[in-house]
Amino acid sequence: MSHPPTETVHGTAIALGGKAALIRGASGSGKSDLALRCIAMPQLAHIPSRAELLADDQVCLLAKGGTIEASPPPTIAGKIEVRGLGIVTLPHRAAARLALVVDLVTAGDVPRYPLDATSANYLGIEVPLLRLAPFESSSPVKLILALDAA
Protein backbone atom coordinates (compact mmCIF):
# COMPACT_ATOMS: atom_id res chain seq x y z
CA MET A 1 0.00 0.00 0.00
CA SER A 2 1.42 3.37 -1.03
CA HIS A 3 1.39 6.28 1.42
CA PRO A 4 0.90 9.89 0.27
CA PRO A 5 4.07 12.02 0.26
CA THR A 6 4.79 13.91 3.49
CA GLU A 7 7.36 16.44 4.63
CA THR A 8 8.03 18.24 7.92
CA VAL A 9 9.34 21.79 7.47
CA HIS A 10 10.73 24.49 9.74
CA GLY A 11 8.25 27.33 10.03
CA THR A 12 5.10 28.57 11.67
CA ALA A 13 1.59 28.20 10.27
CA ILE A 14 -1.68 29.98 10.88
CA ALA A 15 -5.12 29.05 9.60
CA LEU A 16 -7.95 31.23 8.38
CA GLY A 17 -11.03 29.10 7.92
CA GLY A 18 -9.84 26.04 6.05
CA LYS A 19 -6.76 27.74 4.52
CA ALA A 20 -3.26 27.85 5.97
CA ALA A 21 -0.26 30.12 5.54
CA LEU A 22 3.23 28.77 6.16
CA ILE A 23 5.52 31.50 7.51
CA ARG A 24 9.20 30.89 6.71
CA GLY A 25 12.33 32.63 7.93
CA ALA A 26 15.54 32.17 9.85
CA SER A 27 15.48 31.46 13.57
CA GLY A 28 14.58 34.69 15.39
CA SER A 29 13.22 36.37 12.24
CA GLY A 30 9.73 36.93 13.67
CA LYS A 31 7.69 33.93 12.49
CA SER A 32 6.06 33.22 15.85
CA ASP A 33 5.65 36.92 16.63
CA LEU A 34 3.84 37.58 13.35
CA ALA A 35 1.62 34.53 13.88
CA LEU A 36 0.79 35.68 17.42
CA ARG A 37 -0.18 39.14 16.17
CA CYS A 38 -2.40 37.60 13.47
CA ILE A 39 -4.10 35.37 16.04
CA ALA A 40 -4.63 38.31 18.42
CA MET A 41 -6.22 40.51 15.75
CA PRO A 42 -9.96 41.05 15.81
CA GLN A 43 -11.94 39.64 12.91
CA LEU A 44 -11.87 41.90 9.86
CA ALA A 45 -15.37 43.03 8.86
CA HIS A 46 -15.38 41.38 5.41
CA ILE A 47 -13.63 38.12 6.40
CA PRO A 48 -15.90 35.55 8.14
CA SER A 49 -13.23 34.00 10.39
CA ARG A 50 -10.28 34.89 12.60
CA ALA A 51 -6.74 33.58 12.36
CA GLU A 52 -5.89 30.53 14.46
CA LEU A 53 -2.62 28.87 15.38
CA LEU A 54 -1.90 25.82 13.26
CA ALA A 55 1.72 25.02 14.16
CA ASP A 56 4.84 26.72 15.50
CA ASP A 57 8.44 25.76 14.75
CA GLN A 58 7.58 22.67 12.70
CA VAL A 59 4.76 22.07 10.24
CA CYS A 60 3.78 18.68 8.83
CA LEU A 61 2.79 18.70 5.15
CA LEU A 62 0.79 15.94 3.49
CA ALA A 63 -0.01 15.73 -0.23
CA LYS A 64 -3.73 15.14 -0.54
CA GLY A 65 -5.63 15.14 -3.84
CA GLY A 66 -3.49 17.76 -5.59
CA THR A 67 -3.35 20.00 -2.52
CA ILE A 68 -1.27 20.07 0.65
CA GLU A 69 -2.69 19.60 4.12
CA ALA A 70 -0.71 21.37 6.87
CA SER A 71 -0.86 20.24 10.49
CA PRO A 72 1.19 20.43 13.68
CA PRO A 73 3.37 17.57 14.89
CA PRO A 74 1.37 15.94 17.72
CA THR A 75 4.05 16.66 20.33
CA ILE A 76 3.83 20.45 19.85
CA ALA A 77 0.18 20.92 18.82
CA GLY A 78 -1.22 24.09 20.38
CA LYS A 79 2.21 25.31 21.53
CA ILE A 80 3.83 28.57 20.42
CA GLU A 81 7.04 30.23 21.55
CA VAL A 82 6.39 33.73 22.85
CA ARG A 83 9.69 35.54 23.30
CA GLY A 84 9.96 36.71 26.88
CA LEU A 85 7.26 34.32 28.12
CA GLY A 86 8.43 30.94 26.87
CA ILE A 87 6.18 28.22 25.45
CA VAL A 88 2.48 29.14 25.63
CA THR A 89 -0.50 26.88 24.91
CA LEU A 90 -3.21 28.31 22.67
CA PRO A 91 -6.31 26.91 20.99
CA HIS A 92 -5.28 25.63 17.58
CA ARG A 93 -6.61 24.20 14.36
CA ALA A 94 -5.71 20.55 13.72
CA ALA A 95 -5.27 20.89 9.93
CA ALA A 96 -5.89 23.21 6.98
CA ARG A 97 -5.11 23.35 3.24
CA LEU A 98 -1.81 25.11 2.55
CA ALA A 99 -2.85 28.11 0.43
CA LEU A 100 0.04 30.54 0.94
CA VAL A 101 3.74 30.57 1.80
CA VAL A 102 5.13 33.72 3.41
CA ASP A 103 8.84 34.53 3.35
CA LEU A 104 9.98 37.02 5.97
CA VAL A 105 12.33 39.61 4.45
CA THR A 106 13.58 43.13 5.15
CA ALA A 107 11.24 46.00 4.26
CA GLY A 108 13.46 46.89 1.29
CA ASP A 109 12.95 43.41 -0.17
CA VAL A 110 9.14 43.62 -0.21
CA PRO A 111 7.99 44.45 -3.74
CA ARG A 112 5.73 47.51 -3.78
CA TYR A 113 3.67 46.08 -6.64
CA PRO A 114 4.36 42.35 -7.03
CA LEU A 115 3.59 42.03 -10.73
CA ASP A 116 5.06 38.58 -11.26
CA ALA A 117 3.38 35.73 -9.40
CA THR A 118 5.89 33.73 -7.38
CA SER A 119 5.44 30.36 -5.76
CA ALA A 120 7.05 27.79 -3.49
CA ASN A 121 7.06 24.08 -4.25
CA TYR A 122 6.32 21.45 -1.63
CA LEU A 123 5.72 17.79 -2.44
CA GLY A 124 5.60 18.68 -6.15
CA ILE A 125 2.76 21.19 -5.66
CA GLU A 126 3.12 24.93 -6.32
CA VAL A 127 1.83 27.27 -3.60
CA PRO A 128 1.61 31.08 -3.99
CA LEU A 129 4.46 32.96 -2.27
CA LEU A 130 4.29 36.34 -0.52
CA ARG A 131 7.20 38.36 0.86
CA LEU A 132 6.54 40.36 4.05
CA ALA A 133 8.58 42.44 6.49
CA PRO A 134 7.42 40.84 9.76
CA PHE A 135 7.67 43.79 12.14
CA GLU A 136 5.74 46.41 10.16
CA SER A 137 2.57 47.26 12.09
CA SER A 138 0.43 46.39 9.06
CA SER A 139 2.01 42.95 8.47
CA PRO A 140 -0.68 40.93 10.32
CA VAL A 141 -3.42 42.63 8.29
CA LYS A 142 -1.49 42.10 5.04
CA LEU A 143 -1.02 38.42 5.85
CA ILE A 144 -4.69 37.87 6.68
CA LEU A 145 -5.83 39.74 3.54
CA ALA A 146 -3.47 37.66 1.39
CA LEU A 147 -4.54 34.38 3.00
CA ASP A 148 -8.21 35.24 2.58
CA ALA A 149 -7.60 36.00 -1.11
CA ALA A 150 -5.46 32.87 -1.70
Catalytic center residues: 10, 31, 57, 112
Residues 6+ apart with CB under 8 A from 99: 19, 20, 21, 127, 128, 147, 150
Instruction: Look at residues 4, 121, 126 and name the one whose alpha carbon lies nearest to residue 62.
Output: 4
Instruction: Look at residues 3, 127, 149, 147 and name the one whose alpha carbon lies nearest to residue 64.
Output: 3
Run of H or E including 135: none
